[in-house]
Amino acid sequence: MTVAEACAAARIGRTALYEAIKNGDLVAAKFGRKTLIRAEDLRRWLESLPTIAPAQGAARDAR
């Protein structure tokens, strides 16, 4: 998929995506002038991101 498609799928900006590629966290390939990202690589990168723990008392506050 293209960078634009990967950004739309992950709901992130181009800068964050290119930063992940630059840092070596996300694998990308070049095809001519296009930067392409495999769906599996995008999924793996997203799964490797840290999760956010729910705030204490969040369930109680939601009532």
pLDDT per residue as tens digits for the range 17-46: 999 999 999 999 999 999 999 999 999 999
Per-domain residue ranges of the chain: 3-49
HSE at residue 11, side-chain half, CA atoms within 13 A, is 0
For 62, counting Cβ atoms within 10 Å of its Cβ (0-12 exposed, 13-18 middle, 19+ buried), the class is exposed
6 to 29, 45, 61: CA distances (angstroms)? 13, 11, 35
- The model's pLDDT over 2-21, given as tens digits with 9 standing for 90+, comes to 999 999 999 999 999 999 99
Both tokens of 20, joined, read: 């992940």
Give the orientation angle of helix 3-10 with respect to helix 14-22, to 10 degrees: 110
Report the chain's C-alpha Rg in angstroms: 16
